[in-house]
Structure 1
């Protein structure tokens, strides 16, 4: 171990002495740079984008040959309803006999009932006309006719106007019955009675007795469009005007005239509701 240390110390001593001799002898000491690698010149390359040559546009495809438009046959379910076929000889034609004319008691009640524009008188008048028209038979002669009638205070007819009709035969029979009507009692109010009346000449409809129990209630307000405007006057939204109830004395007089509704009147009312609104409204 000591021998190695001595050897290293000897080498260091020799190295120091050699460096001193070199410096004393003036031997030039300088750093020699490595040789430079020759640099290559940079090349600049310019690229020019040349658009490809235009290709001719493809020709539009030729239109397919036109085919005639075929209209499908009409759907029988959507077509206009065909006229009712004539009844077979095996089935008899439907018919309804003329109702009986009003009795003397019914005319006596009608001549004194003033409520609702003489409601009882108007019904008895129409019942009298229908009873004189005869039996209604199913076919082209059935239909309805609506008149505007004016009756003088003494019960005589002063005006008869046809508003519309669906059967010339029904109108003819109704006018013939009106001309041959027996003398009628005076009007209940002693004033001319003006009203519209529909006469049904059909085996499937019957003008049953009216209901009188609600005749003393106020009339419901008549609907009018609150936004109707003539384009000139100021716009005003009008509200429906409720009908005022009857005075106590007038209400008492009205209630005194009310008859007891009959079973026939209730049945006729239910039938009218069934025809107008369907079974869901009457609970049947």
Structure 2
């Protein structure tokens, strides 16, 4: 029997509605815990039982306090690997951030960030081949992420609103962390040089950020400029989508505030 068949899903929902814990349902039906959480969230959303479903609070609509440091991090994740979508049958749009399973720590941090920025809304994880989609449903997603629009992000203009820029100005490292955790990495490069007449191999760390959107790359480099980080623009395989940070002092600052992905 297919673990994701309609029959298994309905059996899971019956158990959940009768009070069985999600972990126990996952064990009984041999279904990933995140999938069970997702089924429960969708079921509750359709029945209007999600926290905040009737009167959800919003920083932009009613001045509800916002964890601005966490929001800056989440903004970076959204600009890198996130998108907002609305599916028929769902009461609210969803924000989905796709993250590689190689970095489980970043998946955990992303889900925690969603929970802090949207404390009244349940989060869930949906497993895909080699990755997980970290999701939250909220009627106010576009309020907090006005960069949403039709088409891909690199096909439309991306600019921060004044209130977003104020948050980034106050928490620039959090935006940089979010961008690196989504579309960047810390790698070790190498080159050779002549030392005493002998050619020797020399290794050095580098932070690498790749994004097709000119506007998103500019947001990244403008923030690096404000932090005093020296960067260079690199073209690889004919594609001018890469930003490199390799100067020793700049890498040391990035290590102190960002560090390797985990």
* TM band (smaller chain): under 0.3
Higher relative contact order (CA 8 A, sep 6+): 2
Query: Is the helix fraction higher in 1 or 2?
Result: 2
User: Could you tell me the TM-score, scaled by structure 2's length?
Assistant: 0.24
Query: Is the strand fraction higher in 1 or 2?
Result: 2
User: Could you tell me the TM-score, scaled by structure 1's length?
Assistant: 0.23
